[in-house]
């Protein structure tokens, strides 16, 4: 088998793995390296009497080079299987772009582990006809699906639109402006993302899975035993920290500890189809105007919050969209 990373591409990690895997499975390999032009690949395959050609590529331009190799193999009258793979390749692209360039089988391989089995199927005269027939049928289906997607009419699409249940809409706030909410520690405990805490404690965030373990100490001991041995010491530390944190939370909840949140509720009222402005109870704050359907990035949302709340924004802001109104 002749393998190469195509012209213009210098990535060869995957190709090198293929070389090792195929050698271990009894296939003779000839690795041409990287940045290999089509002529050299095809000439080598013909001179050595190769039974297969394998192409690898990581970057998108490599796909065009694979097509060039396939066309040259067709011009030279080859019929041996052509295997393509790498990060840039896909089953769909192989069927739509590469396979039509070559009358022989063009096989997309997802990883090195699957290549020996594919090579045996296409290299054995007894199994090749069936394997090639299935391959061509699959690629034909992919091409048809890609070139002629079944589109429904506008009327049918409109008829299948989602109908929102208006009874589930969030009610408008009864009070606008600045309010203070008192929330019990016990109510918030279920919403804690422990991954952030474990990261802050200098532990791997994956150890936060201890928070999902319910039951007795025996259950937690089983969780500890299931962690990788090299991580077990840190896992034991994580388990103890979580135990102490939940104990503090339980004590705080029992004594009725409250968390005070300062919220600002503003109702955005549509003036026309292009803009919305907020309305606050004190009527003193000026806000920028934004299109009602505009999508904001996280950075833009933060900038808007700074404009609205100044340099001391609330701890948490929740956006609820309701027919031209935004509740913050």
DSSP string, 275-295: -EEEE-TT-------B-TT--
Query: What does the pLDDT look like over 131-181, one tens digit per residue?
Result: 999 999 999 999 988 886 677 788 888 888 888 777 777 666 666 666 676
Secondary element (H or E) of residue 183: strand 177-184
The answer to pTM > 0.75 is no
pLDDT at 267: 46
- Give the CA count within 13 Å in the CB-facing half-sphere of 38: 16
Query: Is a pLDDT exceeding 90 seen at residue 57?
Result: yes
Q: Are 238 and 207 in contact (CB under 8 A)?
A: yes
Q: Are 144 and 120 in contact (CB under 8 A)?
A: no
- How far apart are the C-alpha atoms of 135 and 107, rounded to whole Å? 8
Average pLDDT of the residues in 306-321: 45
- How far apart are the C-alpha atoms of 69 and 231, rounded to whole Å? 48
Average pLDDT of the residues in 295-299: 57
pLDDT at 208: 83
Segment of 104-118, 179-193, 231-245 carrying the highest mean pLDDT: 104-118
Q: What is the mean pLDDT of the chain?
A: 78
Question: Which one has a higher pLDDT value, 20 or 152?
Answer: 20
- How far apart are the C-alpha atoms of 243 and 248, rounded to whole Å? 9
Query: Is a pLDDT exceeding 70 seen at residue 307?
Result: no
Among 37-51, 70-84, 170-184, 293-307, which stretch is predicted with the lowest mean pLDDT? 293-307
Among 24-28, 150-154, 285-289, 297-301, which stretch is predicted with the lowest mean pLDDT? 285-289
- First CA to last CA distance, the chain: 64
Average pLDDT of the residues in 299-324: 48
Query: Is a pLDDT exceeding 50 seen at residue 292?
Result: no
Q: Are 3 and 54 in contact (CB under 8 A)?
A: yes
Query: What does the pLDDT look like over 232-291, one tens digit per residue?
Result: 888 888 888 888 877 776 666 666 666 666 655 554 443 333 333 344 433 333 334 444
Active site residues: 9, 11, 62
Segment of 13-17, 50-54, 265-269, 280-284 carrying the highest mean pLDDT: 50-54
- DSSP-based helix, strand, coil % in the chain, nearest 5: 50, 15, 35
Segment of 57-61, 164-168, 203-207 carrying the highest mean pLDDT: 57-61
- The percent of residues above 90 in pLDDT, for the chain, comes to 41
Among 14-18, 37-41, 194-198, 212-216, which stretch is predicted with the lowest mean pLDDT? 212-216
pLDDT at 65: 96
- How far apart are the C-alpha atoms of 8 and 38, rounded to whole Å? 11
Contacts of residue 52, Cβ cutoff 8 Å, sequence gap at least 6: 1, 2, 80, 81, 82, 83, 119, 122, 123
């Amino acid at each position: 088998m002749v393998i190469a990373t195509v012209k213009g591409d210098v990535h060869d990690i995957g190709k090198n793995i293929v070389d090792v895997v195929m050698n271990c499975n009894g296939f003779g390999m000839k690795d041409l390296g990287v940045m290999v032009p089509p002529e050299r690949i095809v000439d080598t395959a013909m001179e050595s009497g190769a039974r297969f050609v394998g192409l690898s590529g990581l970057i998108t331009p490599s796909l065009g080079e694979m097509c060039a190799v396939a066309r040259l193999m067709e011009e030279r009258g080859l019929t041996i299987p052509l295997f393509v793979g790498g990060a840039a390749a896909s089953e769909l692209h192989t069927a739509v772009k590469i396979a039509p360039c070559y009358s022989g089988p063009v096989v997309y391989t997802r990883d090195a582990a699957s290549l020996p089995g594919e090579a045996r199927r296409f290299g054995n005269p007894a199994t090749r006809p069936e394997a090639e027939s299935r391959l061509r049928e699959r690629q034909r289906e992919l091409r048809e699906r890609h070139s002629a997607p079944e589109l429904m009419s506008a009327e049918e699409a409109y008829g299948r639109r989602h109908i929102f249940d208006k009874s589930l809409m969030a009610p408008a706030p009864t009070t606008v402006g600045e309010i203070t909410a008192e929330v019990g520690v016990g109510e918030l405990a279920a919403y804690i993302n422990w991954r952030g805490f474990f990261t802050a404690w200098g532990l791997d965030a994956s150890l936060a899975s201890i928070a999902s373990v319910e039951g007795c100490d025996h259950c937690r001991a089983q969780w500890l035993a299931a962690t990788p041995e090299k991580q077990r010491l840190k896992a034991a530390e994580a388990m103890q920290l979580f135990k102490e944190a939940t104990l503090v939370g339980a004590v705080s909840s029992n004594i009725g500890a409250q968390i005070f949140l300062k919220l600002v509720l503003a109702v955005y009222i549509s003036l026309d189809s292009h803009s919305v402005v907020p309305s606050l109870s004190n009527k003193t704050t000026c806000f920028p105007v934004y299109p009602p359907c505009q999508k904001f990035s996280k950075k833009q949302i933060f900038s808007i919050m700074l404009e609205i709340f100044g340099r001391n924004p609330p701890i948490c802001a929740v956006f609820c969209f309701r027919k031209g109104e935004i509740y913050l």
